[in-house]
Chain A
Amino acid sequence: GDSVTQMEGPVTLSEEAFLTINCTYTATGYPSLFWYVQYPGEGLQLLLKATKADDKGSNKGFEATYRKETTSFHLEKGSVQVSDSAVYFCASRGTSYGKLTFGQGTILTVHP
């Protein structure tokens, strides 16, 4: 079945540091890929998405590129802020009707 693997956290950075959270997937066919963010005590918010190879999703300074050759969708941000502290989930959606497969989540903490 489909699976998503994220780099293990937690990740702790200083403000304005560069962020990378790795995500790789296994799937049959060509899934759509997503990054969701979850703030403490809240549900998930869609951060960005990409639906085909070489697509780049971007939002709020975050970006991720769908790399079919490496089956990856790494999340990057050039300069993180304290307000970016949250849990980040990578997810794929393949052929099953709308069902998402989530990675295990990566906790990001940004210090002033």
Chain B
Amino acid sequence: GAVVSQHPSRVICKSGTSVKIECRSLDFQATTMFWYRQFPKQSLMLMATSNEGSKATYEQGVEKDKFLINHASLTLSTLTVTSAHPEDSSFYICSAQTGPDQPQHFGDGTRLSIL
């Protein structure tokens, strides 16, 4: 149980394009989803917290117009990297939880490479 599916697992695209990453909770309803960014050999940096049906809460220093987050249902959240540039290349990971006292369950991550 508690499976989180993230898609795509890897994407390579040209500078200036927009990229959408999906995060789905397959067997549970996620009231909250989180988006992280991980640089090589570093820890996870929380980008934003997303609650179903409301606007995402972004961490300090994260551009909300650059990283658009939509949490339209209890099983799906999307992260769109708009007008991506090489410095946006990174490993993006989502997680989901059923409530504030429950563990976060993580997706397998998306390796984004911008050429």
Residues of chain A touching chain B, judged by Cβ–Cβ distance below 8 Å, are: 32, 34, 36, 41-46, 49, 89, 97-100, 102-105, 107
Whether A97 touches B106, Cβ cut-off 8 Å, given contacts A43-B93, A44-B44, A44-B93, is no
Looking at chain B, what size class is its interface with the partner chain? 20 to 34
- Chain A residues, Cβ within 8 Å of B97: 98
7 A-B residue pairs with Cβ-Cβ distance under 8 Å, sorted by A, are A42-B108, A43-B4, A43-B107, A46-B105, A49-B103, A98-B97, A99-B46
Q: Quick check: A98 and B49 within 8 Å, CB to CB?
A: yes
**How distant is A72 from chain B, measured CB to nearest CB, in Å?**
18
**How distant is A75 from chain B, measured CB to nearest CB, in Å?**
16
**How distant is A112 from chain B, measured CB to nearest CB, in Å?**
24
The residue in chain B whose Cβ has the minimal distance to the Cβ of A107 is B41
Q: Quick check: A97 and B32 within 8 Å, CB to CB?
A: yes
Q: Which 4 A-B pairs have the closest CB atoms?
A: A43-B106, A44-B106, A43-B108, A98-B100
Interface SS, A side: strand
Q: Is B25 an interface residue (CB 8 A)?
A: no
A103 to B41, alpha carbons, bound, how many Å? 12
**How distant is A36 from chain B, measured CB to nearest CB, in Å?**
8
Residues of chain B touching chain A, judged by Cβ–Cβ distance below 8 Å, are: 4, 6, 32, 34, 41-44, 46, 49, 93, 95, 97, 99-109, 111
A58 to B101, alpha carbons, bound, how many Å? 19
- Chain B residues, Cβ within 8 Å of A45: 106
Whether A42 touches B42, Cβ cut-off 8 Å, given contacts A34-B103, A98-B100, A100-B104, is no
- Chain B residues, Cβ within 8 Å of A49: 103
A102: contacting residue among B44, B102, B105, B107, CB under 8 A = B44
